[in-house]
Amino acid sequence: MKKILFAIFVLSAIVTSAQNTFETAFIEHLVNKGDYREAIFLIDKNNLKLKGAQADSVYYFKGWSHYSIMQLEKSAKALQKVSEQSVFYYKARFFAAYNTIHLGNYEQANAILQQTNAEQHLYKNLRTYQQSGIGLLNKDFAAAEKYLAVTDSTLSPLYEPLKNLKLIKTELQQHKAKSPLLAGLMSAVLPGSGKFYVGKKGQAISTFIGTVGLGLITWENYRKVGLVNVKTIFFGSVFAANYVSNIYGSAVAAKVEENDYQNVMQNQILFNLHIPLRNIFE
């Protein structure tokens, strides 16, 4: 009886372990196929009790799946659980940091990078490179400069992106934001000039023609039939509405233009932070 019980125990342990290995292999298969939602579903549903390398692999697959379907917060959370012993450790750590940067949590991203055990020359430099990106995104040019200076530009995966980040830094430092107040004032003086100042030349010309045209119609009617006339009142109202909305529109356009510029620069920084990660880990 004792022998049978022992056999049951040993066999169940062996079979459970084999099943977990097989399950992990299947999850990997799903991830490789691009069935990310299915992989996540399976990991969450089965609640696998794994240890060591298998647990690390599952955390990595979960994180990678979330990353692939742009669920960055969940991705960062899972990737951070991958232990140092795992073959996926560096990839998981750097992608966790990158996801956190993408989410705008720069302090947390910095913490993840600092906690990463990066003794190898490449990873050490990749870390300072990522930190320089965080500095740029934070508009902390001194920190960005510090990290850019210590990053080894001779490392081939970092050579081009590092050059790009330096250019972005110079560009950001030289950039002068368009003033919404000035754009509004300019449009009040000369319709369309505010939009010209913002850089929307086509819109500036059409606004100028529209507003001046309506102004001329109003003036013509006022001159010939007087103020208290349905035509003068109608065209005058349309002109006034057009004139005021143009002033407001110019101020908004300046704001939008600045936001667009910042978004473009942010995307460029994120893109350049992403390139070496792809080159090194894939």
Among 101, 112, 134, 214, binds other proteins (CB under 8 A): 214
Alpha-carbon torsion angle 13, 16, 20, 22, nearest 10: 110
Nearer to other proteins, 163 or 224 (CB): 224
Stretch 4-63 residues interacting with other proteins (CB under 8 A): 4, 7-8, 11-12, 15-16, 19, 22-23, 26, 29-30, 33, 35, 37-38, 41-42
Name which of 128, 104, 69 is nearest 262 in CA terms.
104
Candidate ranges 3-11, 77-85, 107-115, 242-250; the one touching other proteins (CB under 8 A): 3-11
Among 129, 134, 193, 213, binds other proteins (CB under 8 A): 213
- Give the separation between CA 208 and CA 226, rounded to whole angstroms: 25
Nearer to other proteins, 41 or 271 (CB): 41
- Give the separation between CA 143 and CA 276, rounded to whole angstroms: 20
- Whether residue 56 contacts residue 88, with contact meaning beta carbons closer than 8 Å, is answered with yes
Q: Report the nearest approach of other proteins to the CB of residue 216 (Å).
A: 4
Among 205, 220, 260, 271, binds other proteins (CB under 8 A): 220
Among 121, 224, 259, 267, binds other proteins (CB under 8 A): 224
240 binds other proteins (CB under 8 A): no
Nearer to other proteins, 44 or 107 (CB): 44
Stretch 64-103 residues interacting with other proteins (CB under 8 A): none
Site residues (CB under 8 A) for other proteins? 3-4, 7-8, 11-12, 15-16, 19, 22-23, 26, 29-30, 33, 35, 37-38, 41-42, 213-214, 216-217, 219-221, 224, 231, 235
